[in-house]
Amino acid sequence: MTDTVIFQERADQIHRKGDAPFQLACNKDSLAGAVSQRACVFCGSRVVLYPIADAIHLVHGPIGCAAYTWDIRGALSSGPELHRLSFSTDLQERDVIFGGEKKLQQALIELIDRHHPNAAFVYSTCIVGIIGDDMESICKQVSQEKGIPVIPVQSEGFKGNKRAGYNAACRAMFRLVGTGDTTGISPHSINILGDFNLAGEIWIIREYYERMGIQVVANITGDGRVKDIARSHGAALNVVQCSGATMDLAKMMKEKYGIPFVKASYFGIEDMADALYKVANFFKDDPEILKRAQQVVRDEIAVLYPKLQEYRKDLQGKKAAIYVGGAFKAFSLVKAFRLLGMDVVMVGSQTGTSEDYKELHEVTDEGTIIVDDSNPLELSAFLKEKDVDIFVGGVKERPIAYKLGLGFCDHNHERKEALEGFVGMLNFAKEVHSTVMSPVWRFVPRRTRAKSV
């Protein structure tokens, strides 16, 4: 790889397995000018809190920040849909000069009177950090006047990133935790943290747990409700899917309320089964829970596995590249591709930790490129070098794949296809198969050149 492809300042954030002992830098500020695939602090907080469906979400900032307001996730609700009616105070030059507090207060009062939410979240953006609006005071005043929680989300930031936004969201939610009544909560109960009900996925996962005899107290935050989050401190266990998005909340709840937590992933057969067994093994006082978990896994795999073998016949030896937001998804995707007989030749994330990348190094094959906080220039070079058949990523990675003539699988929060659970693995396999095996790839320039050589 030439120096024109990899910025020298980023050399320590890229590792080729097998070239040297594993070492990868991460948790660094993005390099100025490198056009990182990361998003801002406000974006991080917004995507976590967005699925709370019975709350008002008001962005205090310029209208440009409203790009992260309406319908930014494929998060479904079984009831209210206030989360899809996001709002902005639309700060103008005059507001920047004289302050936007009055405008914020008026907006909150109008929205609460019109929509009657159970809570309101107010997001600060970078400009608010500059002009110094006292959001805390305004939110407190409106909360007292209207009788509902009005919670400031301190998500302004200049050199921060999405992970800092996750922390801001967790701190905001923690203000709700502990304010509700825990009557009727079973001793065999959990909260599901870090799942955002994309394409209805949390309903799939809840159904598995309910078949095991486990009560789900709160979804945090997919199909979320203010009342459920307020009483979530009554659950016996927190099951945390995305280690980046809601891990801080799990730690806060453990410190204050003594609620233990386990990490889980619902992508792929292995990790889905492991998640159910982790919960079952936590409730050892009732052996029937583990038996029911085993039965759920047996029933689901009996339907799923024969169908996967059909796809594997065509996909054996094909090459995949992965670049996702949270590293937890990368682990599961590597296993899922391996189950389909495919080779993962590049894998990376926006917000992975050193522990995440060590685990990725352990589960990947020799020659695999592992990268932290990459950019379009690097990703394009790696995809061409490895001649991949399918690229898994999000909305910002899709144009890279299409410009290079590669198959693409959307694994980000905008997607409309359920990929979690056992049924989600089948959906994923179908999508990968139809994409990789499409006849269109025979006509893209890189394939036609390869044939002529």
The pLDDT tens digits of the residues spanning 62-105 come to 998 887 666 667 789 999 999 888 899 999 999 999 999 999 99
Distance of CA 439 to the CA centre of its chain: 32
At residue 352, the pLDDT reads: 79
State how far the Cα of 144 lies from the Cα of 25, in Å rounded to an integer. 47
Burial class (CB in 10 A: 0-12, 13-18, 19+), 434: exposed
- Average pLDDT over the chain, rounded to whole? 89
N-to-C CA span, the chain? 23
With 0-12 / 13-18 / 19 or more C-beta atoms within 10 angstroms meaning exposed / middle / buried, residue 172 is buried
Q: For residue range 310-330, list pLDDT tens digits in order.
A: 999 999 999 999 998 777 788
- Amino acid 1: pLDDT: 43
Measured from the Cβ of residue 4, the count of other Cβ atoms closer than 10 Å reads 8
| In the block, residue with structure tokens 């920040």 | 65
Edge-to-edge, what's the strand order for the sheet holding 407-410?
14-16, 369-372, 343-349, 319-324, 390-393, 407-410
Once rounded to an integer, what is the mean pLDDT over residues 420-436?
96
What percent of the chain lies above the pLDDT cut of 90? Answer: 68
- Domains for the chain: give ranges and CATH numbers: 8-25+316-415 (3.40.50.1980), 41-174 (3.40.50.1980), 189-299 (3.40.50.1980)
Segment 247-288, tens digit of pLDDT: 999 999 999 999 999 999 999 999 999 999 999 999 999 999
The tokens describing 449, both together, are: 């050149």
Q: What is the pLDDT of residue 445?
A: 72
15 beta partners: 370
Neighbours of 355 (CB within 10 A): 11
Structure tokens at 406: 């590669």
The lowest-confidence range among 221-235, 404-418, 430-444 is: 404-418
Q: Cβ distance 134 to 101 under 8 Å?
A: yes
Neighbouring CB atoms inside 10 A of 2's CB total 6
For 192, other C-beta atoms within 10 Å of its C-beta total 28
